[in-house]
Chains A and B, each alone.
Chain A
Amino acid sequence: MVNRMVLQNIFHRPVRTGVSILAVAIEVAMVMLVVGLTTGMLNESAKRVEGVGADILVQPRGASMFLGLTAAPMPIKIADRLVEIPRVADVAPALFQFGSSTGLGLIYGIEMESFNRVTGGFVYHAGGPFEQPYDLLVDDVYAKANQVKLGQTLNILNHDFRVVGIVEHGKGARLFIPLRTAQDLALASEKASIFFVKCSDPAYTDQVMAAIRKLLPDKQILSIREYMSMMSSNNLPALRAFNTALIAVAVIIGFLVIFLSMYTTITERTREIGILKSLGASKMYIIEAILREASLLAAVGILAGFAGSVIVRRLILASFPTLSVELTVEWALWAALLAMTGTIIGAFYPALRAAQLDPVDALAYE
């Protein structure tokens, strides 16, 4: 019977109900999408680096986890020394650049032959490898997002490049230019930002890393496994703080809307609460009825939030195909838990107030 009363109360004020559900839905969607976007971008970026096929990454000491945010490139001759280490199959240098005709993007300057040996070679959707200094390869995701066609000219790094190939995504960057050209444009002659090292067998990775550390003690040496494990928001305090702040804002908004909604409810229904008390309803009965109502609003809001997250994710990917948004069951559960907890806490004070109303005053309330 109390469930029926709760349901009737919810339908009795559809606008209030709708606003409350919407607030919870936005809260849930915000949590899922913020985490999904940051995690998705991190994971997608990491997967592309993993997709290069290297076992070890050699970078200047203090290099950022985010490949591309690195100053002070290294002499390219290091590649020759790396190749001589036993169990090293191939080494591919790359120079990072930022820039694109359609916004910021990481560009790899590569030696085609060594890069192909390490990666196993590009898979071409159209066109072929570089032939001229200002030739450009773009991956299929970038091409689709920016409607880039084979033969098109793009202005990147303040120069016109001709698109000579559209390649399958997943090998580091989305844009590739010849290494020599990148070095000239960056005024970094004979330099590289990173060396991708492929072992003859991944089982030799630790052994080769030890040898590289001995050879190059002042460089940052990471196995691809180590790199992948570092690419999470837990290892990025600023990102973790950003996520936490946004999640906190979402939860607070949900809490406040539910608090106000239930507070308004008990004010509107003061006489009804008096009636229940005159019938002998205990304080717990009143509190339970209000918390049930709030919980039901939250439950519907949570489901709406899940649906909203999926829809917004599709919209984001349709508008910005190069972005990645990962919606996970784990964070769906966390978002639901946060929303429900915030709701119960937000409804608790109004529920307590309702339970403590003087029945005589409540019955006389207009």
Chain B
Amino acid sequence: MEPIIATQDLKKVFRLGKVDVPALRGVDLIVQEGEFLAVVGPSGCGKSTLLHVLGGLTSPTSGIVLVDGNDFSRMNDGDRTRFRRHKIGFVFQRFNLLPTLTARQNISIAQDIQGNGFNPHRFDAVVDMLGIRPKLNNKPYAMSGGEQQRVAIARAVICEPKILLADEPTGNLDTENSQIVLNMLRALNRSFRQTLLMITHNPEAAAVADRVVRMRDGRVVSD
């Protein structure tokens, strides 16, 4: 079976003023569909950059990046945006909910952007699975960190993406809420065969995944 993610000698170099900063120095990575992968490593090792490239938020400098059969290295920003809209969901460390919208609206806007209209059945299924129905009319400032992250997860999965990319999803949560969120991600993976790639520096969080990839200095050092 074709892997859902395949990178070969992936490099990403950032230009900061007159200085080139290599964030990824040749990453080879394979992720199968339905797999729950954790990427761990020290700060500055390139974990988040890898996530951003795989999510199409930024383009690779060189190398091959195949995501669900699409070569990101040959796609422009518009094409990657269109792909991301339909195939990729993001969960961030800082939740990144829109502060002026309620939980319901934060989730719905993902469907609005996708352009397939509001799907009430999918909405209800996701909301009930994540246990956030009582909070649907709350704005982010009226929710705890754990609740906000669950809303963010709901927003990420409402459009049934092929791949869920989570950047330190428990980084801003206490132990109890971290466990709740990790359990939710695990359930998504188990119940819906959701392909999940999670960045974390927390070994306990990484232990929840099927497989752990370690990075250092822009490279995969163990898989």
Contact = CB atoms under 8 A, between A and B. Distances in A.
Contact of A280 (B92, B100, B105, B114): B114
B105 A5 contact: yes
Contacts of B84: 278-280
A194 to B, nearest CB: 67
A272 B113 CA distance: 14
Nearest to B80: A280
B112 A1 contact: yes
B112 A2 contact: yes
B57 A1 contact: no
Contacts of A5: 98, 100-101, 105, 109
A272 B81 contact: no
Contacts of B62: none
A275 B98 contact: yes
Q: How large is the interface on A (under 10, 10 to 19, 20 to 34, 35 or more residues)?
A: 20 to 34
A9 B105 CA distance: 13
Given A1-B112, A277-B57, A359-B57, A282 B96 contact: no
A4 B105 contact: yes
Interface string A1-20: 11011001101100000000
B25 interface: no
Given A5-B98, A5-B100, A276-B113, A282 B105 contact: no
Contact of A278 (B57, B78, B101): B57
Contact of B99 (A1, A272, A280, A285): A272
A363 interface: yes
A285 B101 contact: no
A363 B92 contact: yes
B82 interface: yes
Which of A276, A358, A363 has most chain B Cβ within 10 Å?
A363
A82 B58 CA distance: 90
Interface in A1-59: 1-2, 4-5, 8-9, 11-12
A5 B151 CA distance: 17
B123 interface: no
A283 interface: yes
A280 B109 CA distance: 11
Nearest to A9: B100
Interface in A342-366: 358-360, 363
Given A4-B101, A5-B101, A279 B57 contact: no
Which of B57, B96, B98, B100 has most chain A Cβ within 10 Å?
B100
A363 B98 CA distance: 12
Interface residues of B, number: 28
A113 to B, nearest CB: 77
Contacts of B105: 1, 4-5, 8
A274 B84 CA distance: 13
A354 to B, nearest CB: 14
Contacts of B110: 279
Contacts of B78: 282-283
Interface in A265-288: 271-272, 274-283, 285
A282 B112 CA distance: 12
Contacts of B97: 275
Contacts of A276: 98, 109, 113
A271 B113 contact: no
B113 A279 contact: yes
A279 B155 contact: yes
B96 A278 contact: yes
Contacts of B82: 280, 282
Contacts of A285: 113
Interface string B102-128: 000100111111100000000000000
Nearest to A12: B100
Contact of B101 (A8, A279, A282, A359): A8
Given A279-B155, A283-B81, A358-B58, 5 more contacts: A276-B109, A277-B81, A279-B109, A280-B85, A282-B82
17 contacts: A1-B108, A1-B112, A4-B105, A275-B97, A276-B98, A276-B109, A277-B57, A279-B84, A279-B85, A279-B90, A279-B113, A279-B155, A280-B85, A280-B113, A282-B81, A283-B81, A285-B113
